[in-house]
């Protein structure tokens, strides 16, 4: 594994800097996302343990609801998305290495292939999702047609 570190570092840098958009693959990706979303709407475990859990924790504004809608995904250009990937290295970032090489050896290999800009850009501010502050205990219900009742507790 250690002997393949230089080749792996070179490969990942090549992939990140030479990524090319593929409209057919992107359309297939969108269809897969839409199919997964449709399936999730019929999955009682997903509804309870993901959707309702996010609503209970964050309310209406949550990581669960902060997604691109179908029309927004279809408007995106795969080449523009690849441009965003290529630009990742221009931002301040950290690299984590787990392996048998010592720190000096790993750093030498990584710096050989991972060229940093003279002045990396600051990361854009991420979206914060404040947790809901419920003053009293609340019970949330989901109207789902099924024979049994499922319960899930939080907090």
For 55, how many CA atoms within 13 A lie in the half-sphere containing its CB? 13
- Write down the pLDDT at residue 24: 98
Q: What is the mean pLDDT of each run of 10 residues along the chain (155 residues)?
A: 84 92 97 98 92 91 96 97 94 90 90 93 95 82 81 67
- Write down the pLDDT at residue 108: 93
Please give the tally of structural domains in the chain: 1
Nearest by Cα to 69 from 42, 43, 33: 33
**Domain-embedded: residue 106:** yes
- Write down the pLDDT at residue 58: 93
- Write down the pLDDT at residue 1: 55
**Domain-embedded: residue 148:** no
> For residue 88, what are the domain limits?
2-113
**Domain-embedded: residue 124:** no
Nearest by Cα to 43 from 144, 149, 152, 141: 144
Gap between the Cα atoms of 34 and 23, Å rounded? 16
Hey, what are 59's tokens? 């309310």
Its pTM surpasses 0.85: no
Q: What is the CA radius of gyration of the chain?
A: 22
In the block, residue with structure tokens 């570092």: 9
**Domain-embedded: residue 140:** no
């Amino acid at each position: 594994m250690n002997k393949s570190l230089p080749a792996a570092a070179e490969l990942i840098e090549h992939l990140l800097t030479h990524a090319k958009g593929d409209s057919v693959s992107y359309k297939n990706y969108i269809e897969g996302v839409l199919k997964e979303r449709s399936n999730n709407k019929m999955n009682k475990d997903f509804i309870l343990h993901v959707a309702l859990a996010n609503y209970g924790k964050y309310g209406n504004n949550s990581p669960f609801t902060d997604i691109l809608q179908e029309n927004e995904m279809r408007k995106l250009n795969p080449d523009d998305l690849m441009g965003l990937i290529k630009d990742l290295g221009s931002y301040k970032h950290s690299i984590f290495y787990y392996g048998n090489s010592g720190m000096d050896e790993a750093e030498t290999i990584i710096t050989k292939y991972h060229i940093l800009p003279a002045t990396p850009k600051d990361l854009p501010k991420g979206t914060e999702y404040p947790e809901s502050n419920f003053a009293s205990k609340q019970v949330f219900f989901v109207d789902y047609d099924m024979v049994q009742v499922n319960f899930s507790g939080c907090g």
